[in-house]
Structure 1
Amino acid sequence: MNRSKVLKYNYTGGIRIMKKICMMVMFLLLICSICTASVSPSKMKIGDVDGQWTYIGRYKSPEINSFTIKDFILYAQPCADTDKMEDYNYDVYFHHVHNKEYYNQKDGVGCGWYKNEQTGEMFQKAYNCVIKLIPLDKTGKPILVSGPDGETIIVSITGYPNGPQQIFRLYLTSCRTYDAISHQLITDLKNGLNNVSRISDNEHNILNKFGDRSFGDNVYRRAARMSNCP
């Protein structure tokens, strides 16, 4: 075999090897993208501020058939890094203004505390906030389409926790939806938002069904905790 044939053989053999390496790399990248798509992290970190909104985190839909917005506020749980993204998951933000006049009926304004004389613990007596929910697709990205699937939901809440676990006096005062593309107001609801019969369940039934975290880390509780009310 002459020198030119050897060089040609080595060259073509090298091309084949490079092609195989490239195909293996592309295959590995594809596998990685499939594995990470379901747990795509948010671009924002919990506590980051975007204008008047503070990022609470990413929440997955509660395990309730035909859940309402109020169910989501009460029972949705934070997504873990290993959670697979499903339908009805949201990036959640809140807005709150400290003010002792928590009966003023202004969206997101007002908070108050009381002291347990026996234990010395401080508990929130009232806390008002506005929650913003941005729907996500199964890759963890915001759904940027016009229509119901991509609607941004903004909910005004007035709450009276009355202790570390009693969350029954929680009222949704309004719920507005906005188009994801045009940002135009689509719906503005003020009636029928609080008609959720399961909220009247006693504390033990709710704890048995949803666990302790249903109180400690739901959307409303996390917003109240992150507000650092004086």
Structure 2
Amino acid sequence: MGHGFAVDLGVDGVGIVADACMVVVKFDSLTGLAVAKPGSKNWTVVRGRYINSTLMFAGRFYCAAYSGIMMLDTSGPDKPPRLLVAVKWSMSSISFRPMTDSLHLVDNGGDLLLVHRMLRPNMVPHDSYRYEVYKVDLSARVLIPVKSFNGRAVFMGMCRAISISAEAFPCVNRDTLYLGTDCDDKSRIDGCNFANGSNEPRHNDWWVRPSTLVDCLSCCIRGSGEQLA
């Protein structure tokens, strides 16, 4: 069923499915996706439970949701788009608490990764989190725990995560997760290194809300961001 949106909604995810000629948008106020073809007068809402992050990967639109990693299916010409389970959570793979945790998909140089951000229970300070990383095997439909980013670095905000080559940025450490300005842990640390388990000490005394990709990169690296120019 087509829908029109009468109010302004914040966008925290977007993608273009070229094969199906569709634009996909994740609004921060909706529990699903909005899909439309160029020239459409209305959006089609694809319902999904607790969609936490989205990512275009290998030509497909993926979501990290309450029950698992979902894939937007646009293969049926006479059927509306729908979400299919690509990888389902199990107690042996991941234990997700939607009130405190968050899930972040990232394209790590051609590998699909999932970062699981978890609030540490009964910890002081109260904004203390731990992070686990998984490689998403879409063929076997399983998550594989990993302890590195294959020598790359990942910059992660609450809405988007991006992987970069550490060799291109001399001030960026390999296998390190750098936190965006909208992550609570950013008030204490810049990030964490998965190779040796250490934390990146906080170097900047300021951050901007809401964060953008530029904010994330410029605030997380050591320096003022001039090295990005």
* Higher Cα Rg, which structure: 1
TM norm structure 1: 0.30
TM norm structure 2: 0.30
Larger strand percent: 2
